Amino acid sequence: MNNVYNKSKEVSLLEILDRVLEAGVVISGDIVISVANVDLVYLGLRALLSSVETMEKLSGSPKIGPLQEST
């Protein structure tokens, strides 16, 4: 894409989940996985991430959550 505006930086997991889990075409397949409480997934993943992430991010900007781009 020759556009100046592009997904130049890695998008956050939150942005991905906000679409993949909540939007998109819904078709009744033979199996449809429904994630009952999306907020719980977000929350859980945040907790998970912050425990896995290196301390680097946390020490750099203690008030910013691990799910967003730090810059």
CB-CB contact of 13 with 49 (8 Å):
yes
Cβ 66 to other proteins shortest distance, Å? 7
Q: Helix, strand or coil for residue 18?
A: helix
Q: Residue 66's closest CA among 43, 46, 42?
A: 46
Verify binding: residue 57, other proteins, rule CB under 8 A.
no
Q: Does 62 bind other proteins (CB under 8 A)?
A: no
Indicate whether 31 belongs to the interface with other proteins (CB under 8 A): yes
Interface residues with other proteins (CB under 8 A)?
A: 1, 3-7, 11, 13-27, 29-35, 39, 41-46, 48, 63-68
